[in-house]
Structure 1
C-alpha cells in the first residue's frame, strides 16, 4: 500500500434520497462542518458525509448515522463522536466561548493546561485528539456533511459547534445552534435559536423569528413579513427594505439591536438594560 494512498484515505458515505423535487431536511450534527448547496437544476437531493479517517469514532459515526425518509421529509441523525455533553457551563467573553462539561475539570497553572476527567483527561484541537506523544490512533477527526438540495427545499439544522454555510436559496430555514456559526445567502422564512453563536444571512424574504443569547445576528436585507427578535446579551444588525411589511417586535435584555430602513413597519419594542435603535 503506497504512502500516497494512506495520505488521502478517508471515510465517505453518500445518502441518496428516493424522492423527486424539494424536500424538508431535518439534520442533527453536533460538531464538524455543514455545507448546504441549493441547486435549481437538481431533481433529487443527496447528502454526503465524510471524514479524514478510515477507522475510529468519526468513521463509526458516519456508518452509524440514522436516516429516514417519509414522503418529502428526510431525517438525518449523525451520532455525537465526543459523547454526551451532560451538564455544562459556557462562558462567553468578547465573542470567544469556553465550555466546561462532565469530567472532573481543567486547570491552567503558569500557562500549562491540566485536564482530568473520567475519560482519562483528553485534549482535542479542531476535533482531533492530541496526546503527549502526538495524535492518537483513534483520533476524533472532524466530520463534514455536504447537502445537495433542489430549489424550494426547507432545512432544519440542529448543532452545537458545527460551522454551517448555505449556498443558494432555501424556502425555509430553522436553525438551533450553540457556539457555532451559520452563513446563508438567501432564505424565505428564518427561525433561529442561537446561543453564543453567529448567524449571518444575506437576504430574508419571509417571516423572521430569532431568539439570541450572547450571540450575533446580521441580516443584509430583510424584505419579509412580521419579524420577532428576542435577544439577551446579543448583538443584532438588520437592514430592512421598503418591501418589508407587518410587525417588527423587539425584546432586548442586556442586548444591542440596530435596525435600519424599518420606520414604515408596525414597531413594538421592550427594552431592559439593553439598547435598541430602529430607524
Structure 2
C-alpha cells in the first residue's frame, strides 16, 4: 500500500478544491475536528497509480486547499461507462471487447491486457503495470465547503457540508446533508439526503434524488435525466424546472412559486 498525507497548515473550516477523475473520493465532515486531514492512497507499492499520487499538485492559499490528482497512465480518463442493474461496464481507448460462447476476447492498441480487481492477469504482461484504484480520504471541520470535479470516481460525503459544487461524468455522488448544492451531472447519479440552501442542478442522462429540500430557491435543468425530490414545509421561494426528454417528480412543493418548461419530457409537481 502507498499513502500520501497532505499537510493542511491552517485551522478551522476550509474550501476544498479537488479534481480526481477516477477512483473513489470519501469526504467526512466532523464537528469536533479542528484541522482538515487529506490522504491519497492505493493498494500498490509501485506503478502508475503510485506515480499519480506522487505527482498530485497541492497548494494552500489562505483557507483554500487545491488538490489536482493526475490520471494514472493506462487509466480510465476519457472513458464511457454503462450502468445497468447496479453493475458498471467502462470502455476506454479501444479497440473492443467480444463475448463469444462464454469466452471474453479483448483487443486494443498494442495488444490487450486483462485486469481483475486492479491486478493484471495477462500471461505475458508485467504485473507491475496494473492500475490500482486511488482513494482520496478527506476529513473536514464543520463549516467547510467543497468543489469536486471527476469523471468516473464514486464520491461519498458524510456529515454536513456548508456548500458543495460537484461536476461529475459517469460517476456517482452520495451525500448526507448539504447547505448549498450546485451540481453538473452527465450520465451519473446524485443522491443527497438533505439540501437546506439554494439548489442549482444541470442533469444530462443522469439521475438526481433529493430526500428533503428546504432551501430558498431551486433550479433544475434536465435533459434525458430523471429527478425525484421532496420539498419540505420550510422550503420557500421559486422552483424552476426545465425538462427536455427528462422526467421530474417533485412532492411537497405546491406552496412554492413554480415555473416549469417542458419539451418532450414529464414534470409532476405536487
What TM-score, normalized to structure 2? 0.91
Give distance in 1, aligned partners of 2:100 and 2:65: 48
Q: 1:229 aligns with which of 204, 210, 220?
A: 220
Aligned pairs for 1:198-277 within 5 A: 198-277=189-268
Shift of 1:63: 1.3
Distance 1:88 1:43, change over 3 A: closer
Residue equivalent to 1:20: 11
Residue-pair matches, total = 270
Alpha-carbon separation, structure 1, partners of 2:42 and 2:143: 29
1: CA distance between counterparts of 2:220 and 2:120?
A: 39
Shift of 1:125: 4.3
1:37 aligns to 2:37 (yes or no)? no
Match of 1:27, SS? strand
Say if 1:126 and 1:164 are closer, same or farther in 2 by CA, change over 3 A: farther
Cα distance, 1:157 vs structure 2: 0.8
- Structure 1's 197 and 96: CA in aligned 2 closer, same or farther, altered over 3 A? farther
Alpha-carbon distance, 1:30 to partner? 1.2
Structure 1 runs not aligned, ≥5 long: 1-9
1:57-206 → structure 2 map (5 Å cutoff) = 57-83=48-74, 98-132=89-123, 136-206=127-197
RMSD: 2.2
Output the CA distance in 1 between the equivalents of 2:171 and 2:110: 25
Please state how far the C-alpha of 1:129 moved relative to its aligned partner: 3.6
1:222-264 CA distances to partner (integer Å, 9 max, x unpaired)? 0011111111221111000111111111111221111001011
CA-CA distance at 1:92 after TM superposition: 6.0
Determine if contact 1:22/1:153 at 8 Å carries over to the other structure: yes
Of stretches 73-82 and 116-125 in structure 1, the one that deviates more from structure 2 is 116-125
Deviations 1:44-103 (A, max 9, x none): 112011111111111111111110111111111111114476766565667766554433
3-state DSSP class of the match of 1:58?
Answer: helix
